[in-house]
Amino acid sequence: MKKTLITLTLLSSMAATAQVQINPQAGLTFQSLTQAPDGFNYKAEIGWQVGLDARFGDKLFIQPGAFLGRSVTAVSYSNNIPSGAVGSVQIEDDLVRTNLKLRALLGYRVLDTYQFDIRLMLGPSYDVLMSVDDRDGNLGWNKGDFNSGSWNVDAGVGFDMGLFTLSPTASFGLSRAFTDNPVLSEIDSKYMSYGVTLGFNIGNDDE
């Protein structure tokens, strides 16, 4: 019993002095796709994200995190009617995707004061695709047309103001968005995402 109490005391002391912060956050996302095929056009619309990350370290730190997001991309398609007929086929719809983003960033505090900090972050992330919908059913795309996950490189800037943290981020897709089925195999589009979150700093942050 005495050894257990000593161990708990030591662990509590280590946790109290460790440079660890937990940061629950919520914010907006803007996700589009690169390299639209002929006749297609992609445009990012407003989505949302919610999640948390943790920071381990002081000046130099690691920052793992997990975020649930729902992103929206406006997709339009226009193509002339074949056989010399006059007119064109036009389709417009919103492509809505739900993702779980898992990321592991390495960061550095470029400004470290008592009331205001600035951080730079860079590292890999992996998006787990959870659902795909087209709102009006015009596109005919579903979850089976997309790869179940995608690797990315994430970069961001963090601003800490006391209890509050603000973080604009960008995510550059490395994996193809679509599957290799014959209809979509030649579409080499990748995800391109931007976001901003506002959250809270919880935990030790010695200055």
Query: What is the domain partition of the chain in residue ranges?
Result: 24-196
Identity of residue 2 = K
Q: Residues with Cβ < 8 Å from 25, sequence gap 6 or more?
A: 50, 51, 52, 53, 67, 165, 167, 197, 198, 199, 200
List helix spans (H) across the chain: 2-17
* CA–CA gap between residue 151 and residue 118 (Å, rounded): 26
Q: What is the mean pLDDT of each run of 10 residues along the chain (207 residues)?
A: 48 53 97 90 96 95 97 86 57 93 97 91 98 85 92 97 95 94 85 97 71
- pLDDT of 77: 86
Q: What is the number of H-type helices and E-type strands within the chain?
A: 1, 9
What are the backbone dihedrals phi and psi of residue 10, each rounded to the nearest 5 degrees, phi first?
Answer: -65, -45
- pLDDT of 9: 45
Rg of the chain taking only CA atoms, in angstroms: 22
- pLDDT of 89: 64
- pLDDT of 82: 54
Contact 129, 163 (CB under 8 A): no
- Its CATH architecture, for the domain 24-196, is Beta Barrel (2.40)
DSSP state of 206: -
Round to the nearest angstrom and report the end-to-end CA distance of the chain: 37
